[in-house]
Amino acid sequence: MRLDLLHVARTLRRSPASAAAAILTLSLTLGAGASIFAVVDDVLLTPPPFANPAALFTIGEIPIDDLASAPRVVSYATFQAWQERAGSLAALEAFDGTNLTLTELGAAVRLSANDVTPGFLTLLGVAPALGRTFDRDDVGQPVA
């Protein structure tokens, strides 16, 4: 084994370009492999950070005249009607994605945001990193 290592060292000294190519190739392949594993681990292997992910699902409306279409987002009035009649569900909460533009701090910055109902974070079993979550009494109140 020792003789093999000495032979490799002598060969690399004689042709530094080959050594650099080998080191670069190994670095790139190991880095790419580690990056791919990190993505696969985060997306496929790690369970979602929710209290009971198997019990969560999304619902929407499908038009009668287009039953092959994907479920569509419902209006807030429809959601409230469903919430009043959701006897077989433990909880029914809503979210709606939107885009905002922040202009207060100089250059305009585009932000992605979600409107959520008061029980949404509780349903997911998550807590805010700072401060508190909001409840039904906070809806419609002025905020700072």
**Chain segment 33-53, per-residue pLDDT in tens:** 999 999 988 888 888 777 788
94 exposure class (CB count in 10 Å sphere: 0-12, 13-18, 19+): buried
Mean per-residue pLDDT of the chain: 86
pLDDT tops 80 at residue 73: yes
Average the pLDDT over 56-73 and give the result: 86
Residues 6+ apart with CB under 8 A from 133: 118, 121, 122, 127
Domain spans in the chain, listed from the N-terminal domain onward: 2-45, 53-138
